[in-house]
Chains A and B, each alone.
Chain A
Amino acid sequence: QQQVRQSPQSLTVWEGETAILNCSYEDSTFDYFPWYRLFPGESPALLIAIRPVSNKKEDGRFTIFFNKREKKLSLHITDSQPGDSATYFCAATEGGSAKLIFGEGTKLTVSS
């Protein structure tokens, strides 16, 4: 059973638009949610992360919105650029554990 789910599987936006990537989870004990970005041929790199004590985390053009009650979060990429084209992974850590579980990823394409 997939404990961390992402949607959509793939997303195409125009340059300058806001891309919205969704993530949901099952386990209410999850207490840390990092997002990673993966470019082809490279290894995943941490992009931004949030803890449930916050409902929003912002870093430049990247913002996480978090809804603890609905067990959902989303990554918003404003003013999308072609260089943002990559696969984005939502991940979650079980409370009190080092176990980090990933979603299946959203492949983002930004067209110019």
Chain B
Amino acid sequence: EAGVAQSPRYKIIEKRQSVAFWCNPISGHATLYWYQQILGQGPKLLIQFQNNGVVDDSQLPKDRFSAERLKGVDSTLKIQPAKLEDSAVYLCASSSSSTQYFGPGTRLTVL
């Protein structure tokens, strides 16, 4: 079974630029999550989708972050404009029940 796919794996941008991350969940998984993991911290939930609807986006900084899952499968997370404090690993996870399966993450560096 293929795992959660994410791209790109690494991204370096300058502050105030925009960036987008892509996630392809495990086939058949209705629930998709985006987490932000800052160095030295545990992952923090940004947004949760059930199919193509948002379940929880209470911790998403909506002034600069946006996410979508238009067809209930792939998802994109966008940051515009990026700030220095957005440097982190962005993790995508998917689940069909109670176990979340994580992708390799995208490491973002904002200079």
**Is the A/B pair a real complex?**
no
